[in-house]
Amino acid sequence: MATLTSASKELFRRSADERFDSLNALYAKCAEDMRRSTDRWHAPAEIVPNPAEGRLDIDLGSQGAYRLNDWSFTQLCKLAGVGKDTLNKLSPETAGRVLTETIPVGGKPLQLLSFDRNIRSIHGASYTRLHNIDLLTVVREFATDFQPPQRSKFGGTGLYAGEQDMFIFLIDPLGWAEIEGEAFAPGFFLWNSEVGRRSVGIQTFWFQAVCANHIVWDAVEVVDFSRKHTANVRECLSEIRRHIERLVEKRDQRRDGFAKVIASAFKTKLGDNADEVAKVLARYGIPRDLGRQALQTAEQAGRFTLFSIVDALTRIAGEYQHAGDRTEIDQKASALLALAAPQGV
Protein backbone atom coordinates (compact mmCIF):
# COMPACT_ATOMS: atom_id res chain seq x y z
CA MET A 1 0.00 0.00 0.00
CA ALA A 2 1.20 3.50 -0.86
CA THR A 3 1.32 6.82 0.99
CA LEU A 4 0.29 9.73 -1.26
CA THR A 5 1.60 13.18 -0.35
CA SER A 6 0.66 15.37 -3.33
CA ALA A 7 -2.37 16.94 -1.61
CA SER A 8 -0.34 17.60 1.54
CA LYS A 9 2.35 19.42 -0.44
CA GLU A 10 -0.32 21.56 -2.08
CA LEU A 11 -1.86 22.33 1.30
CA PHE A 12 1.34 23.85 2.65
CA ARG A 13 2.29 25.84 -0.46
CA ARG A 14 -1.07 27.52 -1.10
CA SER A 15 -1.92 30.98 0.19
CA ALA A 16 -5.38 31.81 1.53
CA ASP A 17 -6.51 33.43 -1.72
CA GLU A 18 -5.77 30.19 -3.62
CA ARG A 19 -8.05 28.04 -1.41
CA PHE A 20 -11.71 27.42 -2.18
CA ASP A 21 -14.41 26.12 0.13
CA SER A 22 -16.45 24.31 -2.51
CA LEU A 23 -16.23 22.98 -6.02
CA ASN A 24 -18.84 25.53 -7.09
CA ALA A 25 -16.69 28.39 -5.77
CA LEU A 26 -13.65 27.04 -7.61
CA TYR A 27 -15.70 26.58 -10.78
CA ALA A 28 -16.93 30.18 -10.61
CA LYS A 29 -13.36 31.46 -10.15
CA CYS A 30 -12.02 29.46 -13.11
CA ALA A 31 -14.95 30.54 -15.29
CA GLU A 32 -14.25 34.18 -14.45
CA ASP A 33 -10.54 33.71 -15.19
CA MET A 34 -11.33 32.32 -18.62
CA ARG A 35 -13.83 35.10 -19.36
CA ARG A 36 -11.29 37.80 -18.55
CA SER A 37 -8.36 36.13 -20.33
CA THR A 38 -7.44 36.58 -23.99
CA ASP A 39 -4.94 34.82 -26.24
CA ARG A 40 -2.82 37.33 -28.17
CA TRP A 41 -0.42 36.43 -30.99
CA HIS A 42 2.56 38.70 -31.61
CA ALA A 43 5.84 38.45 -33.45
CA PRO A 44 8.84 38.58 -31.09
CA ALA A 45 9.77 42.00 -32.52
CA GLU A 46 6.39 43.37 -31.37
CA ILE A 47 7.16 42.58 -27.71
CA VAL A 48 8.96 45.70 -26.49
CA PRO A 49 10.21 45.93 -22.87
CA ASN A 50 9.07 49.15 -21.26
CA PRO A 51 10.31 50.38 -17.83
CA ALA A 52 7.42 52.04 -15.96
CA GLU A 53 6.99 53.19 -12.37
CA GLY A 54 9.88 51.14 -11.02
CA ARG A 55 8.90 47.94 -12.82
CA LEU A 56 9.33 46.38 -16.24
CA ASP A 57 6.23 46.21 -18.47
CA ILE A 58 5.95 45.25 -22.12
CA ASP A 59 4.37 47.16 -25.02
CA LEU A 60 2.43 45.20 -27.60
CA GLY A 61 2.25 47.80 -30.35
CA SER A 62 -1.28 49.09 -30.87
CA GLN A 63 -2.49 46.92 -27.95
CA GLY A 64 -0.64 49.15 -25.50
CA ALA A 65 1.23 48.34 -22.28
CA TYR A 66 0.78 45.17 -20.21
CA ARG A 67 2.24 44.20 -16.85
CA LEU A 68 4.20 41.00 -16.33
CA ASN A 69 3.67 38.70 -13.37
CA ASP A 70 6.41 36.51 -11.93
CA TRP A 71 5.63 33.55 -14.22
CA SER A 72 5.38 35.48 -17.50
CA PHE A 73 8.57 37.40 -16.61
CA THR A 74 10.29 34.04 -16.05
CA GLN A 75 9.12 32.87 -19.47
CA LEU A 76 10.27 36.10 -21.15
CA CYS A 77 13.73 35.70 -19.60
CA LYS A 78 13.89 32.11 -20.88
CA LEU A 79 12.85 33.28 -24.34
CA ALA A 80 15.65 35.83 -24.31
CA GLY A 81 18.16 33.37 -22.89
CA VAL A 82 18.91 35.63 -19.91
CA GLY A 83 18.94 34.55 -16.27
CA LYS A 84 15.93 35.82 -14.32
CA ASP A 85 18.00 36.26 -11.16
CA THR A 86 20.48 38.37 -13.09
CA LEU A 87 17.81 40.72 -14.46
CA ASN A 88 16.22 41.07 -11.03
CA LYS A 89 19.48 42.64 -9.84
CA LEU A 90 19.31 45.33 -12.51
CA SER A 91 17.25 48.49 -12.70
CA PRO A 92 14.08 48.25 -14.84
CA GLU A 93 15.75 50.50 -17.43
CA THR A 94 18.87 48.32 -17.67
CA ALA A 95 16.85 45.11 -17.63
CA GLY A 96 14.70 46.49 -20.44
CA ARG A 97 17.78 47.24 -22.59
CA VAL A 98 19.12 43.72 -21.99
CA LEU A 99 15.86 42.11 -23.06
CA THR A 100 15.56 44.39 -26.09
CA GLU A 101 18.95 43.17 -27.30
CA THR A 102 18.40 39.48 -26.47
CA ILE A 103 14.79 38.71 -27.45
CA PRO A 104 15.03 36.77 -30.74
CA VAL A 105 14.03 38.68 -33.87
CA GLY A 106 11.86 36.97 -36.48
CA GLY A 107 10.59 33.44 -36.24
CA LYS A 108 7.08 32.24 -35.48
CA PRO A 109 4.67 34.45 -33.50
CA LEU A 110 4.39 34.03 -29.76
CA GLN A 111 1.23 33.25 -27.84
CA LEU A 112 0.56 35.59 -24.91
CA LEU A 113 -2.29 35.06 -22.46
CA SER A 114 -3.53 38.32 -20.98
CA PHE A 115 -5.77 38.85 -17.97
CA ASP A 116 -7.15 42.37 -18.16
CA ARG A 117 -3.93 44.41 -18.53
CA ASN A 118 -1.65 41.69 -17.16
CA ILE A 119 0.27 39.00 -19.04
CA ARG A 120 -0.22 35.56 -17.48
CA SER A 121 2.04 33.57 -19.83
CA ILE A 122 4.20 33.68 -22.95
CA HIS A 123 4.50 30.57 -25.14
CA GLY A 124 5.70 29.43 -28.50
CA ALA A 125 3.32 28.37 -31.28
CA SER A 126 3.40 24.67 -30.28
CA TYR A 127 1.78 25.22 -26.88
CA THR A 128 -1.94 24.37 -26.67
CA ARG A 129 -3.92 25.73 -23.74
CA LEU A 130 -6.45 23.71 -21.77
CA HIS A 131 -8.62 25.80 -19.47
CA ASN A 132 -9.30 24.70 -15.90
CA ILE A 133 -13.01 25.13 -16.43
CA ASP A 134 -12.99 22.33 -19.04
CA LEU A 135 -11.65 19.88 -16.48
CA LEU A 136 -14.02 21.03 -13.76
CA THR A 137 -16.96 20.53 -16.12
CA VAL A 138 -15.95 16.87 -16.48
CA VAL A 139 -15.67 16.53 -12.69
CA ARG A 140 -19.08 18.09 -12.05
CA GLU A 141 -20.70 15.74 -14.56
CA PHE A 142 -19.04 12.43 -13.73
CA ALA A 143 -17.87 12.69 -10.09
CA THR A 144 -21.15 13.85 -8.56
CA ASP A 145 -20.71 11.98 -5.25
CA PHE A 146 -17.18 13.19 -4.63
CA GLN A 147 -16.28 16.09 -2.34
CA PRO A 148 -13.18 17.62 -0.71
CA PRO A 149 -11.71 15.93 2.39
CA GLN A 150 -11.99 17.45 5.84
CA ARG A 151 -10.53 20.95 6.08
CA SER A 152 -6.98 20.96 7.39
CA LYS A 153 -6.20 22.76 10.62
CA PHE A 154 -3.86 24.89 8.51
CA GLY A 155 -6.74 26.06 6.32
CA GLY A 156 -6.19 23.78 3.34
CA THR A 157 -9.38 22.68 1.60
CA GLY A 158 -8.16 20.33 -1.12
CA LEU A 159 -9.42 22.80 -3.76
CA TYR A 160 -6.77 25.20 -5.06
CA ALA A 161 -6.24 27.56 -7.98
CA GLY A 162 -3.77 30.40 -8.42
CA GLU A 163 -2.00 32.35 -11.15
CA GLN A 164 0.04 29.34 -12.22
CA ASP A 165 -2.02 26.19 -11.73
CA MET A 166 -5.00 24.33 -10.29
CA PHE A 167 -5.09 21.25 -8.05
CA ILE A 168 -8.12 19.45 -6.59
CA PHE A 169 -8.40 16.56 -4.14
CA LEU A 170 -11.77 14.79 -3.96
CA ILE A 171 -13.02 11.69 -2.14
CA ASP A 172 -16.31 9.82 -1.88
CA PRO A 173 -16.98 9.74 1.89
CA LEU A 174 -19.85 7.25 1.44
CA GLY A 175 -18.06 5.03 -1.06
CA TRP A 176 -16.48 2.64 1.43
CA ALA A 177 -16.14 -0.93 0.18
CA GLU A 178 -14.21 -4.02 1.12
CA ILE A 179 -11.01 -4.96 -0.71
CA GLU A 180 -9.38 -8.18 0.46
CA GLY A 181 -11.05 -7.95 3.82
CA GLU A 182 -10.27 -4.29 4.51
CA ALA A 183 -12.30 -1.08 4.08
CA PHE A 184 -11.28 1.42 1.40
CA ALA A 185 -12.88 4.49 -0.18
CA PRO A 186 -12.21 6.01 -3.62
CA GLY A 187 -10.56 9.35 -4.33
CA PHE A 188 -8.53 11.23 -6.90
CA PHE A 189 -6.18 14.16 -7.50
CA LEU A 190 -6.64 16.33 -10.60
CA TRP A 191 -4.31 19.08 -11.79
CA ASN A 192 -3.73 21.49 -14.66
CA SER A 193 -2.00 24.72 -15.61
CA GLU A 194 -3.39 27.21 -18.08
CA VAL A 195 0.02 28.89 -18.32
CA GLY A 196 2.35 25.91 -18.81
CA ARG A 197 3.53 25.59 -15.21
CA ARG A 198 2.71 21.86 -15.09
CA SER A 199 1.10 19.10 -17.14
CA VAL A 200 -2.57 18.15 -17.01
CA GLY A 201 -3.35 14.89 -15.23
CA ILE A 202 -5.29 12.74 -12.81
CA GLN A 203 -4.38 10.16 -10.18
CA THR A 204 -7.12 7.83 -8.93
CA PHE A 205 -6.83 5.55 -5.91
CA TRP A 206 -8.56 3.71 -3.07
CA PHE A 207 -7.50 4.73 0.43
CA GLN A 208 -8.03 3.83 4.08
CA ALA A 209 -7.41 7.19 5.77
CA VAL A 210 -6.71 10.88 5.16
CA CYS A 211 -4.97 12.73 7.99
CA ALA A 212 -5.33 16.38 9.01
CA ASN A 213 -2.38 17.26 6.78
CA HIS A 214 -4.12 15.68 3.77
CA ILE A 215 -1.67 12.80 3.55
CA VAL A 216 -3.46 9.81 1.99
CA TRP A 217 -2.57 6.65 3.90
CA ASP A 218 -2.64 3.03 2.72
CA ALA A 219 -3.64 3.69 -0.88
CA VAL A 220 -4.10 0.84 -3.34
CA GLU A 221 -4.94 0.58 -7.04
CA VAL A 222 -3.17 3.89 -7.71
CA VAL A 223 -3.55 4.86 -11.38
CA ASP A 224 -1.75 7.83 -12.98
CA PHE A 225 -2.43 9.66 -16.23
CA SER A 226 -0.87 12.92 -17.45
CA ARG A 227 -0.28 14.76 -20.69
CA LYS A 228 1.71 17.78 -21.84
CA HIS A 229 0.00 20.80 -23.38
CA THR A 230 0.68 19.91 -26.99
CA ALA A 231 -1.56 19.94 -30.06
CA ASN A 232 -3.86 17.09 -28.98
CA VAL A 233 -4.12 17.99 -25.31
CA ARG A 234 -7.92 18.30 -25.42
CA GLU A 235 -8.11 14.56 -26.06
CA CYS A 236 -7.09 14.09 -22.44
CA LEU A 237 -10.54 15.29 -21.33
CA SER A 238 -12.04 12.04 -22.63
CA GLU A 239 -9.28 10.04 -20.97
CA ILE A 240 -9.76 11.79 -17.62
CA ARG A 241 -13.50 11.23 -17.89
CA ARG A 242 -12.85 7.50 -18.45
CA HIS A 243 -10.60 7.33 -15.39
CA ILE A 244 -13.32 8.88 -13.23
CA GLU A 245 -16.01 6.66 -14.75
CA ARG A 246 -13.92 3.54 -14.05
CA LEU A 247 -13.42 4.63 -10.45
CA VAL A 248 -17.16 5.22 -9.99
CA GLU A 249 -18.07 1.94 -11.70
CA LYS A 250 -15.73 -0.07 -9.51
CA ARG A 251 -17.04 1.75 -6.42
CA ASP A 252 -20.61 0.80 -7.29
CA GLN A 253 -19.69 -2.80 -7.98
CA ARG A 254 -17.80 -3.16 -4.72
CA ARG A 255 -20.40 -1.31 -2.68
CA ASP A 256 -23.22 -3.45 -4.08
CA GLY A 257 -21.24 -6.61 -3.47
CA PHE A 258 -20.47 -5.60 0.12
CA ALA A 259 -24.14 -4.74 0.72
CA LYS A 260 -25.15 -8.21 -0.47
CA VAL A 261 -22.62 -9.79 1.88
CA ILE A 262 -23.99 -7.83 4.84
CA ALA A 263 -27.58 -8.72 3.91
CA SER A 264 -26.59 -12.38 3.77
CA ALA A 265 -24.76 -12.09 7.10
CA PHE A 266 -27.98 -10.87 8.73
CA LYS A 267 -29.70 -14.11 7.67
CA THR A 268 -26.88 -16.61 8.19
CA LYS A 269 -26.99 -18.45 11.53
CA LEU A 270 -23.79 -19.86 13.00
CA GLY A 271 -25.69 -22.21 15.28
CA ASP A 272 -28.83 -22.71 17.33
CA ASN A 273 -27.11 -22.21 20.67
CA ALA A 274 -23.96 -20.81 22.24
CA ASP A 275 -22.10 -24.15 22.24
CA GLU A 276 -22.59 -24.66 18.50
CA VAL A 277 -21.46 -21.10 17.73
CA ALA A 278 -18.42 -21.44 20.02
CA LYS A 279 -17.26 -24.45 17.99
CA VAL A 280 -17.53 -22.45 14.77
CA LEU A 281 -15.55 -19.58 16.28
CA ALA A 282 -12.85 -21.98 17.44
CA ARG A 283 -12.49 -23.38 13.91
CA TYR A 284 -11.78 -19.84 12.69
CA GLY A 285 -9.09 -19.16 15.27
CA ILE A 286 -11.14 -17.02 17.66
CA PRO A 287 -9.59 -17.40 21.16
CA ARG A 288 -11.94 -18.87 23.77
CA ASP A 289 -12.07 -15.72 25.93
CA LEU A 290 -12.72 -13.49 22.95
CA GLY A 291 -15.35 -15.87 21.62
CA ARG A 292 -17.10 -15.90 25.00
CA GLN A 293 -17.28 -12.08 25.02
CA ALA A 294 -18.68 -12.05 21.49
CA LEU A 295 -21.27 -14.70 22.37
CA GLN A 296 -22.42 -12.75 25.41
CA THR A 297 -22.86 -9.60 23.34
CA ALA A 298 -24.71 -11.46 20.57
CA GLU A 299 -26.90 -13.30 23.09
CA GLN A 300 -27.99 -10.00 24.60
CA ALA A 301 -29.12 -9.00 21.12
CA GLY A 302 -31.19 -12.20 21.03
CA ARG A 303 -29.57 -13.83 17.99
CA PHE A 304 -26.53 -15.81 16.88
CA THR A 305 -26.36 -14.60 13.28
CA LEU A 306 -23.10 -14.16 11.46
CA PHE A 307 -23.59 -10.39 11.47
CA SER A 308 -24.23 -10.23 15.22
CA ILE A 309 -21.02 -12.15 15.95
CA VAL A 310 -18.90 -10.09 13.54
CA ASP A 311 -20.42 -6.89 14.92
CA ALA A 312 -19.64 -8.03 18.48
CA LEU A 313 -16.02 -8.83 17.55
CA THR A 314 -15.64 -5.40 15.92
CA ARG A 315 -17.00 -3.64 18.99
CA ILE A 316 -14.66 -5.60 21.26
CA ALA A 317 -11.68 -4.78 19.03
CA GLY A 318 -12.44 -1.08 19.43
CA GLU A 319 -11.84 -1.40 23.16
CA TYR A 320 -8.31 -2.75 22.76
CA GLN A 321 -5.51 -0.23 23.36
CA HIS A 322 -2.91 -1.58 20.95
CA ALA A 323 -3.41 -1.29 17.21
CA GLY A 324 -1.86 -4.70 16.60
CA ASP A 325 -4.46 -6.42 18.78
CA ARG A 326 -7.29 -4.53 17.06
CA THR A 327 -5.98 -5.47 13.63
CA GLU A 328 -5.73 -9.16 14.53
CA ILE A 329 -9.34 -9.26 15.77
CA ASP A 330 -10.56 -7.33 12.71
CA GLN A 331 -8.85 -9.84 10.43
CA LYS A 332 -10.52 -12.74 12.18
CA ALA A 333 -13.89 -10.98 11.99
CA SER A 334 -13.36 -10.41 8.23
CA ALA A 335 -12.60 -14.10 7.77
CA LEU A 336 -15.90 -14.94 9.45
CA LEU A 337 -17.78 -12.40 7.34
CA ALA A 338 -16.49 -14.13 4.22
CA LEU A 339 -18.85 -17.00 5.08
CA ALA A 340 -21.69 -14.77 3.83
CA ALA A 341 -20.05 -14.19 0.46
CA PRO A 342 -21.04 -16.42 -2.47
CA GLN A 343 -17.63 -18.11 -2.42
CA GLY A 344 -17.78 -18.65 1.32
CA VAL A 345 -17.81 -22.14 2.83
Say if 39 falls within a structural domain: no
Residue 141 sits in the same domain as residue 192: yes
Can you give the pTM of this predicted structure? 0.75
pLDDT score of 155: 85
pLDDT score of 161: 96
Is residue 50 within 8 A of residue 96, CB to CB? The reply is: yes
Q: Which of 158, 209, 190 lies closest to 12 in space, CA to CA?
A: 158
Say if 327 falls within a structural domain: yes
Using DSSP's 3-state secondary structure scheme, residue 51 falls into strand
Residue 208 sits in the same domain as residue 152: yes
Residue 192 sits in the same domain as residue 248: yes
Please give the chain's pLDDT, 345 residues, in tens: 799 999 999 999 999 999 999 999 999 999 999 999 999 999 988 899 999 888 999 999 888 899 999 999 999 999 999 999 999 999 999 999 999 999 988 778 999 999 999 999 999 989 999 999 999 999 999 999 999 999 988 888 999 999 999 999 999 988 888 776 677 899 999 999 999 999 999 999 999 889 989 999 989 999 999 999 998 999 999 999 999 999 999 888 887 766 676 677 777 777 777 888 888 888 878 888 888 888 887 776 666 788 788 777 777 776 765 656 666 776 777 677 667 665 543
Residue 80 lies in domain: 44-106
Say if 68 falls within a structural domain: yes
Residue 7 sits in the same domain as residue 95: no
Number of domains comprising the chain: 3
Residue 180 sits in the same domain as residue 283: no
Residue 294 sits in the same domain as residue 234: no
Say if 38 falls within a structural domain: no
Beta strands in the chain (DSSP E): 2-4, 37-42, 48-52, 55-59, 65-68, 110-115, 118-123, 159-161, 166-171, 177-179, 182-192, 200-207, 209-210, 216-227
Residue 199 sits in the same domain as residue 321: no
Say if 149 falls within a structural domain: yes
